[in-house]
């Protein structure tokens, strides 16, 4: 019986070592725009123990990857205002362009893709051991007039054009 228990335990550990573990999972992405087109972006995510260890030892930095994703296409530099092991807040100046058409204010956001972050992860030594999901379960873009656009499980969020009400 002891040998069977020892063998079963060894097999479970070997299976866990070989099987990819779920890694970084982006749960939600919320983009809130102000009248000038600046964005406050809130990201909620989950990290595995291995990833938390990599962050602790400065081998990986999810906040800087988020900053890089939002720097692309913006006229100003994105700033990470807070980052924890489960969330980050990024401020992005001029995330949306603001124009006037026929007396109406039109806001057009930039497109966002987390494809680069996925490529960066694949460069780490532990990449074969993890299966990251950079597609937020839900992305919400909120305009100053309260209008919202939703996207589900998309690694790239398209540019959104919205004519402001009122």
57-69 pLDDT, tens digit each: 555 555 565 666 6
Q: How many domains does the chain have?
A: 1
Q: Is the pLDDT of residue 70 over 50?
A: yes
* Span of 8-22, 46-60, 78-92, 141-155 with lowest mean pLDDT: 8-22
User: 69-78, 126-135, 137-146: which has the highest mean pLDDT?
Assistant: 137-146
pLDDT tens-digit map of 155-166: 999 999 999 986
10 Å CB burial of residue 92 (0-12, 13-18, 19+) is: buried
In a domain, 4, yes or no: no
Examine residue 45 and state whether it is found in any structural domain, yes or no. yes
Whether 140 is covered by a domain: the verdict is yes
Q: Looking at the domain assignment, is residue 2 inside a domain?
A: no
- Residue 11 resides in a domain: no
pLDDT in the model for residue 18? 41
* Mean per-residue pLDDT over the chain, rounded: 76
Q: Is residue 12 part of a domain?
A: no
pLDDT score at 157: 92
Does residue 54 lie within any of the structural domains? yes
Query: Would you mind telling me the total number of residues written for the chain in this entry?
Result: 166
Query: Which has the higher per-residue pLDDT, 50 or 45?
Result: 45
State the Cα angle at 160 between 156 and 166, rounded to 5°: 155
- What pLDDT is attached to residue 11? 37
15 in any annotated domain: no
User: Which range of residues forms the domain containing residue 96?
Assistant: 22-163
């Amino acid at each position: 019986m002891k040998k069977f228990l020892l063998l079963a335990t060894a097999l479970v550990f070997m299976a866990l070592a070989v099987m990819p573990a779920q890694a970084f999972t982006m749960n939600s992405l919320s983009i809130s725009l102000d009248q000038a087109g600046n964005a406050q972006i809130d990201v909620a995510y989950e990290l595995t123990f291995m990833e938390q260890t990599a962050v602790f030892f400065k081998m990986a930095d999810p906040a800087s990857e988020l900053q890089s994703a939002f720097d692309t296409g913006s006229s100003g530099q994105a700033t990470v205002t807070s980052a924890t092991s489960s969330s980050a807040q990024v401020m992005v100046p001029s995330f949306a362009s603001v124009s006037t058409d026929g007396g109406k204010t039109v806001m057009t956001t930039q497109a966002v893709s987390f494809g680069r972050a996925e490529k960066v992860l694949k460069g780490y030594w532990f990449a074969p051991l993890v299966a990251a999901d950079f597609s937020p379960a839900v992305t919400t873009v909120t305009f100053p007039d309260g209008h919202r656009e939703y996207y589900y499980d998309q690694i790239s969020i398209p540019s959104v054009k919205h004519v402001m009400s009122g």
